[in-house]
Copies of this chain bind each other. A is one copy, B any other.
């Protein structure tokens, strides 16, 4: 599909930060003067990303994903065609960054009850992302799939993620028992030339492997095969996803804060952090973007929640991301946002048009609270509620801004992914932390190894056995 200049323009997302300014919020707002003061720092962040674009050794591989995958996309489309032909069930086995991209794309661009549609309407396999090891979930899955018609897509960069490997072992054994060849039921996505999945594929293969490009961390991998291959299996135009990301990469050209939406987004968030807003709420007004908030939560929390700066100085920074769904969570969280502590900044994801309008029919009841709705539509209602919530928060002097989404399609979704990745990278630069590591999860991983009796972790096991719960503190 050729994308015209007009389409690009029509599909451009817009950052609207009116309600972050002192003009809207008084003292609680951010002044133009304050923004001007940040210009130089913003330029430095911009220069860093520009100079180091694509450098795997700096974990900046993700910046090049819109451009470097022509061959890989061909391979994905070839494999996806085959899966779509043969399979009624497609199951992603992965966790964290290996799962959230697939879930987000599925939620955003497929029918909200995809798996309950008839096959002819679905036009793609039923779709599952198994991103937990709750045994009830594994059993539930096996009770509804037909193994013979299932393809498992196993995603792990290193192939050492215990959760995913345990799932793989269970699935492999089930396939073997059923006499089903791995080649037809397993596809891997992993790092090239290293890691356990490749070793597994060599030993028990042939098994098709898609390779995750170098220098792309899990939480920045949605536009790699981790997210793109599931999208292709669902029949989503992956080239359009990448084109949207490339478009955002172009919108990121200006080094001038006031012309670069991602750079401005990062500066705004950084100022909020400095002012003690330790909570970042992402509030999409769309059921199709519910998972997007989960994707963002990982990106933001794991990239910026850090205990030391790049030079090793202890720091303890990071905003806690909160997922909120409009309008649903107006009836759950809004009371707190409007009247509770001044500790958060809210980012709305606001569709400017919905694929349907769902008119409320002229069903006259004689009851005023019902009749005023007649002649409107759910589209008008949800849009009005979005605008009303932004107004109410602004009136209560609460920082909020809006990412306006012209319409939801693969191109715009690609833009959104790349936009928030840029905002995260810039904010990491401002905080002077490594946005691409996660040293804080090591202690937990090792403790789990110890508890499961992995070799070499015996001393830790002893320590764990000593740190038992105290009966005085149990009720």
Contact = CB atoms under 8 A, between A and B. Distances in A.
A132 B325 contact: yes
A372 interface: yes
Interface string A430-451: 0000000011110111111111
Given A95-B327, A360-B170, A361-B169, A444 B368 contact: no
Chain A: interface size category: 35 or more
A140 interface: yes
Q: How many copies are assembled?
A: 2
A114 to B, nearest CB: 9
A298 to B, nearest CB: 4
Interface stretch (A65-73, A186-194, A233-241, A301-309): A301-309
A396 interface: yes
Contacts of A5: none
A5 to B, nearest CB: 19
Give the dominant DSSP class at A's interface: helix
A82 interface: no
A132 B328 contact: yes
Interface in A392-410: 392, 394-396, 402
Given A356-B139, A372-B454, A473 B18 contact: yes
Contacts of A159: 367, 369
A164 B347 CA distance: 25
A381 to B, nearest CB: 5
A112 B140 contact: yes
Given A134-B286, A451-B387, A335 B441 contact: yes
A330 interface: yes
Interface in A307-352: 307-308, 316-318, 320, 322-323, 325, 327-328, 330-344
A169 B302 contact: no
Contacts of A440: 334-339, 396
Given A332-B301, A334-B444, A392-B443, A372 B16 contact: no
A14 to B, nearest CB: 6
A362 to B, nearest CB: 8
A385 to B, nearest CB: 5
Interface stretch (A51-59, A221-229, A463-471): A463-471
Interface stretch (A37-45, A208-216, A256-264): A256-264
B367 A444 contact: no
Interface string A408-425: 000000000000000000
A332 B469 contact: no
Nearest to A128: B113
A255 interface: no
B335 A113 contact: no
A373 interface: yes
A377 B305 contact: no
Contacts of A100: 332
A145 to B, nearest CB: 9
A152 B415 CA distance: 38
B14 A381 contact: no
A9 interface: no
18 contacts: A95-B331, A134-B382, A135-B355, A136-B286, A138-B356, A138-B378, A159-B367, A162-B373, A162-B381, A298-B333, A302-B335, A317-B340, A318-B336, A334-B441, A339-B440, A388-B464, A392-B443, A392-B447
Given A16-B474, A279-B320, A388-B464, 19 more contacts: A18-B469, A23-B470, A96-B330, A97-B331, A111-B140, A116-B144, A135-B355, A163-B385, A170-B358, A260-B475, A298-B333, A305-B336, A322-B322, A338-B444, A372-B454, A384-B451, A387-B448, A392-B444, A392-B447
3 smallest A-B Cβ distances: which pairs? A305-B336, A96-B331, A307-B339
